[in-house]
Amino acid sequence: MTKTFHGPVHQGIVPAYLLAKLAQSERYTTAADAARQTLIAGRPPFRSRLEFSVDESGELVAEVTAAPDRTISDAQGTENLPGTVVRREDDPPVADETVNQAFDGLGATFDMLLEAFERNSLDGAGAGLNATVHYGQMYDNAFWDGARMVFGDGDGEVFRGFTGSISVIGHELGHGVIQSASGLEYQGQPGALNESLADVFGALTEQHLLGQTADQASWLVGEGIFTDAVQGRALRDMLNPGTAYDDDELGKDPQPAHMRDFVTTVEDNGGVHINSGIPNRAFALTATALGGHAWEEAGTVWYRALTGGLSTTATFTQFADATLVAARELGDNVEEAVRNGWIAVGVIEDATSRTTG
């Protein structure tokens, strides 16, 4: 089935199609106004790759440290970045809980990357972690701008503040890892893969922080950012795409769970937030089949596929092939679980079901 969504295109955690739907709401009047403002404001242009300095001899210089280097700034309701610095790495907690939540979320993501994948920050070389809170007026989104995390406060009617969700923070910082590791294009299948990988990082960050196994995890991305007025649990459900919300005003979660329902559209950068449900489910199925902590086997496979020379235009099938190569290094049981995950969502064919004649 082919579905098409129309509306402005942005790259934050909240898809533009959901904001566009909210902007037309008669029930959520405050949130509708906030959604319109958010769509108009958009986000700054995506910046270039993380940069390193070069010393006088021409050698590449990067500070490598096993501890995070966090800086939180406050935009004070404006759209001017980076804003005023309000907390640095060695500073104690401040009175503003939003600042502290952002600080802790950046640290949780750093810890997961280091302990699970031996990756020192987003670039693998100890890059500082920067974030700005209180961006814009009732800004209904959070995004990675190529150099920092940026958080809106939400409208209070549909969306709460975005610093309260660890999976949101891990997701957006995940874009920084993807930017550094492969530079996947943000369009079509590569873009949907980009979004899915960011969801994987977000989910793993939350699970790692809570010490959850794959069976214990919710597999929700953005859990808690909706207010109680909304009929929904989160922005996305990785294990069961298409079930995260079903609200009278916002509509139903449009994510497909199988390639037969792949959405062809020119909106949402070719459906990057929509079709990401397909590889999301493949990962969640793989992780739950393997059991234990998802970052130890399934996460390692996905991370090695991402960082192993992945093409910037990789399709779902090409990425699936890369995960199978990575899985073989971890054992037959891991390879089988990965293969079954991709078969279940229709990305690769089940060889046992082929007929000959």
Question: What pLDDT digit, counting tens, does each position of 236-265 carry?
Answer: 999 999 999 999 999 999 999 999 999 999
Tell me how crowded residue 207 is: count the other CB atoms within 10 A of its CB: 26
Average pLDDT over residues 26-46: 75
User: Taking 60 as the threshold, does the pLDDT of residue 355 lie above it?
Assistant: no
Quick one: CA dihedral 79, 81, 84, 90, positive or negative? Answer: positive
Closest to 125 measured CA to CA, from 65, 174, 51, 171: 65
Cα end-to-end distance, the chain, whole Å: 30
Confidence of residue 61 (pLDDT cuts 50, 70, 90): very low
pLDDT class of 37 with cuts at 50, 70, 90: confident
Integer angstrom CA distances of residue 71 from 77, 104, 123, 228: 18, 11, 16, 32
The residue-averaged pLDDT of 93-116 equals 96
Nearest of 288, 306, 102 to residue 203 by alpha carbon: 288
Q: Compute how many other C-beta atoms are within 10 angstroms of the C-beta atom of residue 253.
A: 22
Mean pLDDT of the chain: 88
Active site residue 267: no
DSSP 112: H
Q: Which domains does the chain have, with CATH numbers?
A: 16-46+63-349 (1.10.390.10)
- The confidence score (pLDDT) of residue 253 equals 96
pTM, two decimals, is: 0.86
Tokens matching residue 163? 């610093």
Helices 298-307 and 188-210, interaxial angle, to 10°? 140
Catalytic residue among 172, 185, 206, 297: 172
Q: Which of 10, 134, 175, 273 is catalytic?
A: 273
Tokens of 42: 């958009």
Residue with tokens 């809170």: 133
Residue 22 near residue 9, CB atoms below 8 Å = no
Task: Give yes or no: 10 in active site.
Answer: no
User: Are 299 and 287 within 8 A, CB to CB?
Assistant: yes
Residue 299 and residue 171 in contact, taking contact as beta carbons nearer than 8 Å: no
Is 225 in contact with 155 (CB distance < 8 Å)? no
